[in-house]
């Protein structure tokens, strides 16, 4: 038990340079939310649904993190900061990192039957802050979801998703093979291949439009003088 706790705290410290010791990590709201969720999930599996909800309610009040007792969470789950919602049928693999203000939300069944309606996150997934992952989709192993992205379709293994609605960017293998990318977003170079060329093309187009505008202005200034000469 003690060794498992130390291993978990060390896994968090490997992904977050802020804490100076393991004791600091014990004060993280995400750590408390996960601890209380383990209790609530145990009660939920024992069909003690009301008690599970009570623990969930206390956890949400203490941490501002709402994890439904039915959600299944693997090892070394790191929930950095808080204000996150994880739905009942969500499934989270091992070594997953989720930043603040993320929703693992469910689609609303029209037939009133619960079923599988929340996302599944495979191992080593990173979800950036503010991302919304909706529906019974699968986010593949080692995938990254950038900040504020909205994901409603399956995410391939190793893909990085950005935007509204999120689209996949084919990040080079040497980038996504890195052990850890904070917030799930590579920031040292453009995420989208060819974005630099697009910017340069747009700059050339702007310069061409400016030249045309200057030419039109010159013609308008010269037009009254020409009319006066003709008279």
We report the CATH number of the domain holding residue 80 as: 2.160.10.10
135 and 214 co-located in one domain = no
pLDDT digits (tens, 9 = 90+) for 39-97: 999 999 999 999 999 999 999 999 999 999 999 999 999 999 889 999 999 999 999 99
pLDDT digits (tens, 9 = 90+) for 100-133: 999 999 886 655 567 889 999 999 999 999 999 9
Task: Please determine, for residue 181, whether its predicted confidence score (pLDDT) is greater than 90.
Answer: no
pLDDT for 180: 67
95 and 157 co-located in one domain = yes
114 and 211 co-located in one domain = no
204 and 134 co-located in one domain = no
Contacts of residue 164, defined as CB under 8 A and 6 or more positions apart, other chains included, come to 148, 149, 150
pLDDT digits (tens, 9 = 90+) for 19-37: 999 999 999 999 999 999 9
- Average of per-residue pLDDT across 189-210: 74
Alpha carbons within 13 angstroms on the beta-carbon side of residue 150 total 3
pLDDT for 229: 58
174 and 212 co-located in one domain = no
> Considering only CA atoms, which of 73, 79, 146, 68 is closest in space to residue 105?
68
- DSSP class of residue 155? B
108 vs 3, more confident: 3
3 vs 179, more confident: 3
Task: Please determine, for residue 176, whether its predicted confidence score (pLDDT) is greater than 60.
Answer: no
Domain count, the chain: 2
What global pTM score does this model have?
0.72
- Its domain, for residue 219, covers 194-231
């Amino acid at each position: 038990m003690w060794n498992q706790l130390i291993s978990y705290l060390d896994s968090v410290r490997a992904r977050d340079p802020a804490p100076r010791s393991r004791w600091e990590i014990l004060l993280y709201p995400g750590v408390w939310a996960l601890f209380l969720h383990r209790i609530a999930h145990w009660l939920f599996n024992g069909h003690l649904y009301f008690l599970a909800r009570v623990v969930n309610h206390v956890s949400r009040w203490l941490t501002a993190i709402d994890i439904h007792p039915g959600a299944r969470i693997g090892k070394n789950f790191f929930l950095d900061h808080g204000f996150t919602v994880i739905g009942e049928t969500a499934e989270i693999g091992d070594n997953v990192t989720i930043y603040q203000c993320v929703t693992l939300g469910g689609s609303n069944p029209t037939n009133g039957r619960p079923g599988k309606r929340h996302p599944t996150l495979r191992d080593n997934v990173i979800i950036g802050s503010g991302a919304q992952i909706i529906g019974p989709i699968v986010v593949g192993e080692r995938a990254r979801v950038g900040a504020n992205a909205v994901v409603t379709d399956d995410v391939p293994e190793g893909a990085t998703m950005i935007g509204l609605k999120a689209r996949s960017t084919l990040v080079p293998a040497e980038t996504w093979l890195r052990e850890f990318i904070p917030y799930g977003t590579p920031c040292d170079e453009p995420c989208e291949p060819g974005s630099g060329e697009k910017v340069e093309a747009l700059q050339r187009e702007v310069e061409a439009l400016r030249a045309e505008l200057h030419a039109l202005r010159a013609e308008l200034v010269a037009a009254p003088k020409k009319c006066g000469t003709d008279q």
